[in-house]
Structure 1
Amino acid sequence: MKQIFVTGATGFAGRHFRDLLDTLPDWRMHGASHDLDLRDGAGVQRAVAALPAVPDAVLHLAAQSNVPQAFADPQATFDINFFGTLRLLQALRAAGFRGRFLFVGSADAYGLVPERELPIGEDHALRPRNPYSVSKVAAEALAYQWSQTEGFDVVLARPFNHIGPGQDERFAVASFARQVAEIALGRREPRIETGDIDVTRDFTDVRDVVRAYVALLQHGESGRVYNIGSGRETRLREILGRLIEFGGVQTEIVSAPGRLRPAEQRRMCADTHRIRDRTGWQPRYGLDQTLIDILEYWKEKLTNE
């Protein structure tokens, strides 16, 4: 049985990754505890040393991923995302780790991309525009460097927008779904506040994203970067419209100035040929099913609060 150590195991993707591994009898997961602080080098060393065995693989999900928080405290963001990755790599080296290390970066690394350059391939220039994406680009470069100079088997993932049950309401689709659920349950006036909903994004169900992580752990090429996405762009207005339809509500849609972002990327779409060609991975969840599941999650959560 293969042993895998997962940082960020209690987060959005981490929880779904754990659920997926429960269906794979050849893998056993060891998740970093919720209170593991990547800023604490000694704590990271202890967490790795306390594992029952040196893992066969590591999935590094843990990060400070909130962009407004990154602007408010860029130093903490770098300490977690960049230096935290360094501390983890050092702890693994000290433990004699010789397995595969999957670093999860972000498609936010590409920055503002002209529409004529869509879809975005892995060789596209990286032009990060906020402290979060800068920290992820730096950490990705660090992980790559360790694949070249420290003998680590490193694969690099750049997921695009992933959505699904359990996502924090700070993210647009989760926020829409919660508001629709509140209206359906009679807990909110029929009025939904949004940012710019005429932008497009490449959305993938988080359950497909974690399947991509497994595919890369098993079949990815060491030292290579892989986009993870649907390869399709969907307008946020369409997402909201479907959620309203599935929720069976009628509502006013109001643009809230506080939700608008300057220099917003108008369109986004991933070129996913590399991961598909290398691993055979492709999404299984249709967008409608994902949105229905998100809406049901919020209805259940609100009902039980």
Structure 2
Amino acid sequence: MMKRLLTGAHGFVGQHVQAAVSCTPLPPEVDLRDRQTLAAAVARIRPEAVIHLAAQSFVPASFENPRETFDINLMGTLNLLEALQAADFQGRMLFVGSGDIYGQVPEVELPVREEHPLHPRNPYAVSKIAAEALCYQWSQTSGFEIVMVRPFNHIGPGQSARFAIADFAKQVMEIRLNRRAPVLHVGDIDVTRDFTDVRDVVHAYTLLLDQGQNGGVYNICSGQEYRIRRLLEQLIALAGIDAKIEQDPARLRPAEQRRMVASFDRLQRDTGWRPTISMEQSLQDLLNDWEKQLQ
């Protein structure tokens, strides 16, 4: 059985990767910023493949501490690449970037494809562009292969309430369980986003680790445009509650992208992947997960 090293194993997506495929998590005490400890761990594990998920991925935190974001996302990736090379790694690595690197995209240019110009609008996105460029360079000049992915919004059980749909699901379930008044606090819910179930995202990762082109970059998305208000209404209906929706000014973001949808044509061409889990199922599973946590 192939030994796959997984960084970021204890995060939202990492837990789903572990549920889907056999892998060896990077020990939680190993910090990507600690070159010596990381190199020792990689040498001990001697992986045949790597899924590199670990990152500082919360955009507000990247504004508060951009240096830490770069230390983890860019320099941490460089430390991992150097550790793999020192361990004579000759397999394949999957680098997980972000669809956020495209930045503000004019509506006439939707859906977003991989060749679209990159216009980052926050330190997190800048760090992901830099790390992706670094991975491309190593894919061409090192002794191992690297495939890069740009996932767009994904949802599913286990997601933190720091993210909008998971937060709405938590609020809805709190109302259903009589833990709060029937009022939902939201930001701008009249925007659209491209959401994919996290389990479909993980399936794409595993396919690309085997079938993606070395040095290739792939959007991972549903190719569908979902209005946030509609998803909130679905959560309310699935939970069988009545609730008032109130906009909280503190949740509004300046210069919000009004619409977003991307294309997964390249991913489908190379692997045959397409999303299989319905939005209704994703939302129901998210509600069920919050019900368990709040009981």
**Shorter-normalised TM-score: what interval?**
over 0.9
Matched AA of 2:235: L
1:38 aligns with 2:32: yes
Check whether the contact 2:69–2:124 (CA below 8 A) recurs between aligned residues: yes
Give the 4+ runs in structure 1 shifted more than 3 A.
none
**Aligned residue for 2:111?**
119
Indicate which of 221, 226, 242 corresponds to 1:234: 226
Code of the residue aligned with 2:227 in structure 1: it is R
Aligned to 2:10: 10
Residue of structure 1 aligned with 2:140, choices 145, 148, 165: 148
2:169 is aligned to 177
Residue of structure 2 in register with 1:66 after alignment: 58
Q: Give the aligned partner of residue 24 of structure 1.
A: none
Per the TM alignment, residue 284 of structure 1 is displaced from its structure 2 partner at its CA by 0.9
Question: What CA deviation, in whole Å up to 9, does each residue of 1:46-101 have, x standing for no partner?
Answer: 211221xx222100000000011000000000000000000000000000000001
- Length-normalised TM-score, structure 1: 0.96
Other-structure match for 2:257? 265
In structure 2, give the amino acid aligned to 1:281.
W
State the SS of the aligned residue for 2:267: helix
Partners of 1:109 and 1:179 lie apart in 2 by 30
The Cα shift of 1:152 comes to 2.5
Q: TM-score, normalised by structure 2?
A: 0.99
Give the aligned partner of residue 67 of structure 2.
75
Question: Which consecutive residues of structure 1, in runs of 5 or more, have no partner in the other structure?
Answer: 22-27
Q: What is the one-letter code of the residue matched to 1:135? A: S
1:283 pairs with 2:275: yes
Amino acid aligned to 1:11:
G
Aligned length: 295
Deviations 1:161-210 (A, max 9, x none): 00000001000000000000000000000011101000000000000000
Name stretches of at least 5 consecutive residues in structure 2 with no aligned partner. Answer: none
> How do 1:20-59 and structure 2 match up within 5 A?
20-21=20-21, 28-51=22-45, 54-59=46-51
Structure 1 distance, partners of 2:240, 2:30, is 42
Letter in 2 for 1:14: G
> Equivalents in 2 of 1:3, 1:283: separation in Å?
26
Cα deviation for residue 36 of structure 1 reads: 2.1
Whole-Å separation in 1 of the counterparts to 2:99 and 2:278: 21
* Residues 77-126 of structure 1: CA deviation (Å, up to 9, x unaligned): 00000000000000000000000010000000000000000000000000
Shift of 1:229: 0.5
